[in-house]
Amino acid sequence: MKTCITLLKLFAPALPTMLLALLAAWLCMLTSIGLMASAAYLIARAALHPMIYELSIAIVAVRFFGISRAVLRYAERYISHDATFRILTNLRIFCYACLEKIAPAKLVGYKSGELFGLLIEEIDVLKDFYLRVLSPPLTAVLTLATISGILFFYSPTAAIWLIMAFIMIGLGLPYLAYHFNRSGSTYLREAKGIYKSECIDIIHGLNDIKVFHYDEKKFAINQRIASQITTQERKVFRTTALADAGADLIANWTLLAILACLIPLVRSNQISGIHLAVFTLAVQSSFEAVLPLPSVWHYCLAGLDAAKNLFKISQLDIALHPTAKTHPNCQGNKALLIDKLDFFYKPDTPVFKNLSFSIVAGEKIAIVGASGSGKSTLFNLLLRLWEQNFGMLYLNNVPYDAMTGETVRQAFRAITQNTYIFQGTIADNFRILYPDCTEAEILTALQKAQLHDFILSLKNGIHTDIGEDGNQLSGGQRQRLAIARALCRPTPILLLDEPTASLDSITAQHIMDTIIKTLDNRTMLLITHDLRGLASMDRIMVLKDGQVIEQGSYHELLRKKGEFSTMLTYQRAL
C-alpha cells in the first residue's frame, strides 16, 4: 500500500490530464454502448415495417454514436498518452535525481544489468501503469454504475446479476490469477535482471571469454536462464489466457441470466420486445469495459515490483553529518584540511582511522603508498563521491557538509585511473565538460598532453569519432585525452589518481613536467604508487594502514631512510 501511495504521488503532476483521459474513456465506452443499443433499436423496430420517418431518430442516433465513438476514442488515446508521457517525464527525473545523489557510493552492490533495467525496463513498465492498471478498473466502475443504474429502474434482479458479474470478472478472476502466479511473476523479473547482467558481462568481456575458451560455457549459462524465463512466461500466459476465457464465460452466462430476468417483463408488457433487444446488446457491449481486467493483475504486479526497485534506490541516501563550524587550524591559505577522518566499507575493516593532514593553497602534494593503502578511497572522499563515517573535511575553510557535492566538485579537476571517454568526437569530449570551449583551447590542451600531433594527423582532426569509451584509441592515448580534458580550463585544485599509469616512463615524465609548469599557483594533489619523478613535489605523504606515517620533501624522506626510501629502493631494483 505504501508503494502505491508513493507511486501515486509521483503521478500527481499528471492528475488533471489523467482525469480528463478517464472522462474521455468513460464517454467513449458509453457511446460504444449507445451505438449498439441504438443499432438494436433500429433493427428491431425496422423488423416491424414502420413508416420511414419513425426510424429517423434511431438512424440519427446510430450516426451520432458512431461518429462520437470514433472522436472520443481518438481523444481518449491522445489524452491518455499525453498523461503517460507526463508520467514518464516525472519518473525519469525522479530516477536520475536519485541516482545522481547517491552515485557511486551506494551503487557498489548493484550490477550494471540491474541499473540498466532500472533506467529502461522498470521506467517503461511504470509509464504504462495508468493505461494498464489505473484507467481500466475506474472506467469499468463508471460504466457499471451507469448501466446498472438504468437497468435497476426496470429490473433490480438483472442489475444485481450485472454487478455480480463485474465483481467476479474485475476482482475475483484477477485475485485468482494473482494467487496462482505471484511467485512466478517475481521470479520472472529477477531472472530477467540476471539475464541482462549476463548479457552485459558477455559484451564487455567478449575478448577475454574467447581467449580463455569460456564462450561455450558462458553462452550455455545464458541459454539456461533464457529457457527458464521462457518457461515462466508460458505459465503467466496460460494463467492470463484462462482468466480471459473465464471472463468471457461469466459474461455470456450473465447475459443469459439477465435475459431470463427481462423476458417475463416482455410477457407482462412492462417492456416491449424492442427494449429487450436494446437491453441485451447494451449489457453485452458494457462487458467491453470489464473484460480487460483479468490481465490487470500481471501489469499491477510488474508495476509494483518496478516501483519497489525504484523506491529502494531513492531510499539509499548518503548520510550527511551535522554542519561543522570553521576549524581553528583551517585559517589562512589552507586549500584542504582533513580532520580526524574515519572511513570504512565494512565496520570491522576501517580504511582510515583518525586521519588528519592539511594542504596549503598552491602546494604540490604527492600521496604514495602500497596498493590497498586507501589512496583511491581518499580521492573519492575529496571529490565527495563517498561520505566519511566520522571526522570532517574542509575546502578553503568551509566544511564539506556546508556545501553540496556539486559545489565541492566545482573546485576540482580530476583525472582518475579509469577516466571515462564519452562516445563521439574528440571535440565532443571537451564540450561535454566545457560547452563554450573553443578549438584553440582544445588544441592547446592536447598539446600539453602530447596528443596534439597524433590528432592533427587524423583526417578529421578533433572532429574524429573515437567510438564507445574511446575504443578507437590506444590505452595511452585515452589516458592522454583524459589529461588534456582536465588541463583545458584552470581550476583551484587538480586531483590526479595514477594519471600516467598507461604511459611509458618518458612520456609520463614529460606530461607530469607539463602539468606542473601549467599549474602556476594552483594546488595539485597527485595520488600514485610510482615514486619516480616526485622530486619536483613540494611535499610527499606516505599512506599506510589508513594513516600518514611520514611526510616531507623528496630529499627529506630519502634522508630519513623510512618507508618511502624503502619503497623507492624496491622500485629501482625491479
Q: Would you list the DSSP string of 334-372?
A: EEEEEEEEEEEEETTEEEEEEEEEEEETT-EEEEE--TT
Both 301 and 336 in one domain: the answer is no
Domain boundary among 314, 347, 368: 314
Residues 6 or more apart whose CB falls under 8 angstroms from that of 537 comprise: 364, 365, 366, 526, 553, 554
CA 355 to chain centre: 36
> What's the CATH number where 495 sits?
3.40.50.300
- Please enumerate, as own/partner, the contacts of 268-274 that have beta carbons within 8 Å and a separation of 24 or more: 270/154, 271/154, 273/44, 274/41, 274/44, 274/45
Both 277 and 189 in one domain: the answer is yes
Q: Which pLDDT does position 317 carry in this prediction?
A: 55
Task: Output the 3-class SS for 14-48.
Answer: HHHHHHHHHHHHHHHHHHHHHHHHHHHHHHHHHCC
Both 507 and 552 in one domain: the answer is yes
Both 287 and 413 in one domain: the answer is no
Both 89 and 236 in one domain: the answer is yes
412 within some domain: yes
| pTM, two decimal places | 0.69
92 within some domain: yes
CA distance 565 to 557: 7
CA distance 226 to 520: 58
Q: Which pLDDT does position 327 carry in this prediction?
A: 46
> Domain range holding 515?
328-573
Burial class (CB in 10 A: 0-12, 13-18, 19+), 287: buried
β-pair type (398-399, 412-415): unpaired
320 within some domain: no
Query: What are the CA-CA distances from residue 503 to residues 494, 500, 513 (Å)?
Result: 19, 5, 14
DSSP code per residue over 84-100: HHHHHHHHHHHHHHHHH
Residues 6 or more apart whose CB falls under 8 angstroms from that of 223 comprise: none
Q: Interior CA angle at 108 toward 106 and 112, to 5°?
A: 115
Both 258 and 123 in one domain: the answer is yes
Both 302 and 201 in one domain: the answer is yes
Domain boundary among 264, 290, 314: 314
Whether the CB-CB separation of 516 and 534 falls below 8 Å is answered with no
Question: What's the one-letter identity of residue 413?
Answer: R
Query: How many helical (H) and strand (E) elements, i.e. helices and strands, does the chain have?
Result: 22, 10
Query: What are the CA-CA distances from residue 288 to residues 136, 141, 293, 511, 528 (Å)?
Result: 10, 12, 10, 72, 69
Question: What's the one-letter identity of residue 105?
Answer: A
Both 339 and 260 in one domain: the answer is no
Query: What are the CA-CA distances from residue 460 to residues 23, 257, 355 (Å)?
Result: 57, 78, 49
322 within some domain: no
Both 235 and 370 in one domain: the answer is no
279 within some domain: yes
Query: What are the CA-CA distances from residue 557 to residues 99, 524, 574 (Å)?
Result: 43, 19, 20
Whether the CB-CB separation of 316 and 101 falls below 8 Å is answered with no
> What's the CATH number where 173 sits?
1.20.1560.10
Whether the CB-CB separation of 309 and 193 falls below 8 Å is answered with no
Q: Which pLDDT does position 470 carry in this prediction?
A: 83
354 within some domain: yes
Both 8 and 145 in one domain: the answer is yes
319 within some domain: no
323 within some domain: no
CA distance 86 to 98: 18
β-pair type (493-497, 334-346): unpaired
Chunked into runs of 10 residues, the chain (574 residues) has average pLDDT values of 80 90 94 93 88 86 93 93 89 81 67 67 81 90 93 92 93 83 70 76 78 79 86 84 90 93 90 90 92 82 80 63 44 77 84 89 88 82 86 89 85 82 89 88 88 88 87 83 85 85 75 76 85 85 88 90 87 72
Q: Give the chain's domain count.
A: 2
Both 168 and 51 in one domain: the answer is yes
What are the two backbone dihedrals, phi and then psi, of residue 9, each rounded to the nearest 5 degrees? -65, -35
Domain boundary among 257, 290, 314: 314
Both 292 and 336 in one domain: the answer is no
Sign for the pseudo-dihedral over CA of 56, 58, 61, 65: negative
